[in-house]
Amino acid sequence: MAGSFDIDAMLSRYRERAAAVRKRPLPPVSGDERQAFIAQANQDFMDFAIIGDAAGTIEDGVLVLRVDLRPGDQRS
């Protein structure tokens, strides 16, 4: 599997998922349900965006995702 696994394609799909969450329309709900939907969408976006921004490698058959969480001005 590791030989045919396309890390860049996987990361691209996560970036696409993050963008899709941002475009997701709000369902016709209000009050607490609306706030819960918005909170979940924000969490989904953050999760997908973090993985989408990762640098991936396969080391000894293990997928390794490296995520730089430092602010943009502190990244190397």
Confidence check: pLDDT of 63 > 90:
yes
Domain membership flag for residue 2: no
**Domain residue limits at 61:** 7-74
In this prediction the pTM is 0.79
pLDDT of residue 29: 84
CB 2 within 8 A of CB 58: yes
Side-chain half-sphere CA neighbours of 63 within 13 A: 14
Domain membership flag for residue 1: no
- Residue-wise pLDDT for 2-51, tens only, equals 568 899 999 999 999 999 999 988 888 888 999 999 999 999 999 999 99
pLDDT of residue 64: 96
Q: How many CB atoms lie within 10 A of CB 48?
A: 20
Report d(CA 62, CA 51) in Å as an integer.
16
Task: Please count the structural domains in the chain.
Answer: 1
